[in-house]
Chains A and B, each alone.
Chain A
Amino acid sequence: MKPRAGLILSVVVLSLLLAICLLWVISVGEVPIPRGDVLGVISGRIPSSDPRSVIVLSIRLPRALAAAAAGAVLSGSGVIFQGVLLNPLAEPYTLGVATGAALGASLAITLGLPFVSAFAFIGGIGALWLVWILGRGAGETASPTRLILAGVIVGSILGAGITLIKALAGDQVGIIVLWLLGSFSLSSWEHVAWGAASALAILVLGLFWARDLDIMSSGADPRSLGVDDRKTSGFLLLGSSLATAVVVSMSGVIGFVGLVVPHLVRIVSGPAHFRLLPLSILGGALLLLLADTAARSLGELPVGVITALIGGPIFCFLLWRER
């Protein structure tokens, strides 16, 4: 099969799967709603005053879509971080970007400041910058191990900062804790819009620079193959950090999605980014949609716990396989 045909087929299959899961996910819950009724609500056949309509349109659909969009962003960011930094372990979580964003957002929530996302972004970029400086060492490019070590160290310092804020937060502590563990229980249509815009931004950014990402991740000196690596990696890292910060500021810190999904997809699609990125974005959406449903069904567990419980073992398996 030609690569493009294979890609289109995979995208169609994954999109269909996502749509089916979405329908199923919306129908389950404390008040079961038959799938036919879900379609009825979405198509407008069931009036908006109907309680089923309220549950679907105000609660379950925005929540499901927000989770899917967040999964798309985290997974897509993982692909971009891994490609630019030439590091298979890079993702928003391991690089401290998510923790930095969480610190910025916690600070904003505690102080009752507006623009939580902006604070999350500043925190995320700040963390990335620190990790980059520390991880780069003497050479021009960052060594993979140093970078992850720097990410872990910066992440734990920032994590301590978050703990400190929690201790000092007083009444806000409940909100911060719930939010840090990662949850979509408070998702609104506004969240869906922001999440979808971020996911789209990641997709456009990544596809625009797909060939540059291929070159950068291949291990070649990107400049000798015509890639202006400073500019390109700057745009890509800033863009994916911004998208991550938007998601973190809405749903808290959710780990492993950006690590596990790209790795699994890469096994099937290979490392070329024009295939890897769209499929990882869809895969991430699917994973987080299902993880959030599991979290919801198990009495509102934090979704970050579910992704860690699913993703951790998968990642261990991948590590073991690549020994």
Chain B
Amino acid sequence: MSLLSLKGVRVTLGSREVLKGIDLQVMPGEVVALLGPNGSGKSTLLAAAAGVGRRDTGRVLVKGDDLDSLSRREVARRIAVVPQQTGFMMPFSVMETVLMGRFPLAGRFARLSAGDRLVAAEALEAVDLGSFGERLVTDLSGGEAQRVAIARALAQQTDILFLDEPVSALDPRHAIAVFRLLEVLRKEGKGILVSLHDINYALRFADRIVFLKDGLLVEPPSPRKVDEVLLAEIFDTPWILEELSGGFRAAFPLV
């Protein structure tokens, strides 16, 4: 059974129909990369699928249940979202921030347990911030803050993970570390939907690549089938796709 299933999702923002009927399934143990030009609606799609953004028509099934029938809390126990902007403003510590990922699972007044703290500490280790627990989120660099947001999502221990351009503020080493982490999570059977700007990360790490173009999804039969023609069509600019040694491929926009 698919973890996440979108059926005919349409979203109109202002006078523009951004999503014109999106069908998408995410299976357990699958990393699905979502790509498209700026303004193509990647964030809108993630927000609609997570139930935090607008959705005019269409259904979203989360582990078989209609999103609209689930409480916010229940949704947060099933889907964790890493936002594009962390928006940290108040001087919470890194640990306090990651522990917020445990709030949907804890009772309103129940104290967070040692187990919760362990999960949070492990989540911080996973994003290479194990020693950052006492630092204030307002003192972090953009890349560190983004990894804190990822750790907070991991602490939610959901089966479904959405990441909205999670590596845009990260240097290559930390970006690759995030994808290695996604590989681990995939092995645990989680379903991951990640929007990306860089096609090369998608070619290297994704099980499936879906493109958003003019409000509709375009999906090649497999990432291997992504070619220069398809990329040119999606991004309205010519591309070169090179075969590298070891079976890797790299794509460059032609300048």
Contacts and interface: CB of A to CB of B under 8 A. Distances in A.
Given A211-B108, A215-B103, A271-B91, A220 B152 contact: yes
Interface residues of A, number: 21
Nearest to A230: B72
Nearest to B50: A224
A271 B90 contact: yes
A221 B52 CA distance: 8
Interface in A85-119: 86, 88
B76 A224 contact: yes
Interface residues of B, number: 34
Given A211-B103, A271-B91, A226 B86 contact: no
A43 B211 CA distance: 78
Nearest to A208: B108
A219 B88 contact: yes
Interface string A132-171: 0000000000000000000000000000000000000000
B83 A214 contact: no
Interface string A197-229: 000000000001001001101111101111110
Given A208-B108, A226-B104, A227-B72, A88 B93 contact: no
Nearest to A144: B89
Nearest to B100: A215
Contact of A219 (B73, B75, B89): B89
Given A208-B108, A220-B152, A225 B91 contact: no
A88 B138 CA distance: 13
A220 B83 contact: yes
Given A208-B108, A214-B100, A221-B52, A226 B77 contact: yes
Contacts of A226: 71-77, 103-104
A226 B73 CA distance: 4
B83 A217 contact: no
Interface of A: 86, 88, 208, 211, 214-215, 217-221, 223-228, 266, 270-272
Q: Which 9 residue pairs spanning A and B have beta carbons closest together? A: A226-B76, A219-B87, A226-B104, A224-B81, A226-B73, A271-B90, A223-B52, A219-B89, A228-B72
Interface of B: 50-52, 71-77, 79-81, 83, 86-93, 96-97, 100-101, 103-104, 106, 108, 137, 149, 152, 156
